[in-house]
Structure formats: structure tokens, C-alpha cells
């Protein structure tokens, strides 16, 4: 009788899957882009924000929303133009960094804002490449939303409440916002929710580019850090989605929370 009353041991992921999940957890719950950028620039986050002129701040929300809308309509449409960029092609990173630098150098921050839809579109195509690499069907009705989510998942700030900005918390919140959307006609509220989180990293990137102390070479490094951050988030997000397809959402969520509990216990200890 005592054996029957004993609690059941939770099911476990296979070792290889658990290792992938742990690596994804480290990316998704690790150092925020804001903290990485502050370390790269050697400047506090507050100073990076302050470096952004007021007129740019006033235009940023609309610019980010417009960039996301354009990226979604161009990067993920059907046809040859939507073919995801191959993962690992270094010319993509160099070309985007150069394009942003040329726009910023020739026309200042207004030029960089004008270039934002182009860079966001290229980045979304790279996110789509990560998705395809993990077995996602890019023609599925929810593919665009899943790719766009990466911009929100990578927008965590150091000051965010962990309970509200954790990976699954953000996914759940976005899923609630997305209810009622049909196909690629995503509701404005969903784009707004993405923009609200993606706008933070964009503002910091622009602020870093506006800081004279960085210089052109460091500005390119900022662009590369920006791209690598969101590519890493995309890879981790779509790895977890593949694990959910293979092993079930409940089991993956349970394993993820177990990794989080282990990390929290280590920090407390």
C-alpha cells in the first residue's frame, strides 16, 4: 500500500533533449541585450537612453511598429523573395552593419530610422531561417506570429520583473494578445505588443550609435551584437518548440521550470 501511495516520479526528457533545453534556457533567461550592450559600450544603460535625441524618441514607437509591419509583409510572404537567408552567412551580418552605418553616417539618426524597416526585414528572414532549421513549417498560418515573437522574447530589460518577463510568461501573454487574428492579418494589438518590447533594444542600439565615444568600428560591433542576440533568441525559441513537438509541451515546460528552480536555488545558496 505504501508503494501505491508514494508520489510518482516526474517524467524526464532524454539526456540529449535535456541538454538542448538547458542551453536554450541559458540564452532565453540569461543576460539581456541591454546589459550586453552597456558592457560593450562601457556606458550605463541610462546613459545610452539619454544619448537618444528627443525627436528620435518621439518617432521611435511608430518607426518600430512600421518596421515590424513591413518586415512581416515582405520577409515572410510566399515566393522566392521570402526564402530565408542561410544560417551562418557572415556577409549578412557585415552587409547589415555596413548599411546601418552608412545610413547613420550619411543622414544621422533620422537616416538610421529610415533604414530600420530594411534591417528588421533582413533580421526577420534570418529568424525564419532559424525556424526552418528547427523543422518549422513557414507556410503554416501561425509561422509569421512565431517568428515575430522572437523580437519580443529578446526585448527583456534588466529591470523587468522575472515573473512577467520570463520566456513562458511572455509567450503566454502574446498568445492571449493574438487570439482572434486570422492568418497573416495579425491584429494591431499583437504588433503593438511586439513593438513595445522590441522598441527597448532598438532605442538602446540607436542611443549607442548616437554616443560619440563609440566611433564607427564600435558602432558596427553594436550592430553585430544586436543581430547575434536576436539570432540566439530565435535559435533557442525554435529549439524549445521542436522539443515540444517531439516530447509534449507539458513535459518541456516541466523540465524548463526544473532548470529554473535549480538556478534559483544555486543563487540563493
> What are the pLDDT digits (tens) for 215-269?
555 566 777 788 889 999 999 999 999 999 999 999 999 999 999 988 766 645 4
- pLDDT at position 207 is 80
For residue 198, pLDDT over 70 is answered with yes
Helices (H), 134-166: 143-153, 162-165
CB 119 within 8 A of CB 63: no
Percent of the chain with pLDDT over 70: 70
CA distances from residue 90 to 86, 95, 227 in whole angstroms, order as listed: 10, 9, 11
Report which of residues 136 and 97 the model is more confident about. Answer: 136
DSSP single-letter state for residue 137: -
- Give 118: exposed, middle or buried? Use CB within 10 Å, 0-12, 13-18, 19+: middle
Q: Which three cell numbers stand for residue 170?
A: 511572455
Q: Which three cell numbers stand for residue 260?
A: 529554473
Query: Per-residue pLDDT averaged across 36-44, rounded?
Result: 76
Tens digits of residue pLDDT in 241-252 = 999 999 999 999
Domain ranges of the chain: 14-268
- pLDDT at position 81 is 45
CA distances from residue 11 to 3, 14, 147, 225 in whole angstroms, order as listed: 18, 10, 30, 38
- pLDDT at position 91 is 61
Q: What is the pTM of this model?
A: 0.83
Report which of residues 23 and 89 the model is more confident about. Answer: 23
Report which of residues 101 and 52 the model is more confident about. Answer: 52
Amino acid at each position: 500500500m505504501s508503494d501505491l501511495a508514494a508520489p510518482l516520479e516526474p517524467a524526464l526528457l532524454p539526456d540529449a533533449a535535456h541538454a538542448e533545453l538547458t542551453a536554450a534556457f541559458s540564452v532565453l533567461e540569461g543576460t539581456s541585450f541591454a546589459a550586453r550592450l552597456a558592457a560593450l559600450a562601457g556606458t550605463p544603460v541610462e546613459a545610452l537612453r539619454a544619448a537618444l535625441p528627443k525627436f528620435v524618441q518621439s518617432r521611435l514607437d511608430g518607426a518600430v511598429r512600421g518596421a515590424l509591419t513591413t518586415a512581416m509583409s515582405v520577409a515572410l510572404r510566399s515566393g522566392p523573395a521570402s526564402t530565408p537567408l542561410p544560417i551562418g552567412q557572415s556577409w549578412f551580418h557585415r552587409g547589415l552593419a555596413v548599411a546601418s552605418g552608412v545610413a547613420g553616417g550619411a543622414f544621422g539618426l533620422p537616416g538610421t530610422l529610415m533604414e530600420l524597416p530594411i534591417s528588421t526585414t533582413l533580421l526577420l528572414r534570418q529568424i525564419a531561417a532559424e525556424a526552418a532549421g528547427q523543422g518549422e513549417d513557414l507556410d503554416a498560418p501561425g509561422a509569421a506570429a512565431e517568428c515575430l515573437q522572437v523580437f519580443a522574447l529578446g526585448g527583456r530589460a534588466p529591470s523587468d520583473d522575472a515573473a512577467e518577463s520570463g520566456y513562458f510568461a511572455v509567450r503566454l501573454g502574446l498568445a492571449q494578445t493574438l487570439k482572434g487574428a486570422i492568418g497573416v492579418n495579425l491584429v494591431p494589438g499583437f504588433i503593438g505588443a511586439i513593438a513595445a518590447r522590441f522598441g527597448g533594444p532598438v532605442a538602446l542600439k540607436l542611443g549607442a550609435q548616437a554616443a560619440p565615444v563609440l566611433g564607427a568600428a564600435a558602432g558596427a560591433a553594436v550592430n553585430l551584437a544586436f543581430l547575434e542576440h536576436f539570432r540566439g533568441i530565435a535559435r533557442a525559441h525554435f529549439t524549445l518548440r521542436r522539443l515540444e513537438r517531439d516530447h509534449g509541451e507539458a513535459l518541456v515546460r516541466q523540465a524548463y521550470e526544473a532548470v529554473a528552480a535549480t538556478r534559483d536555488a544555486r543563487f540563493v545558496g
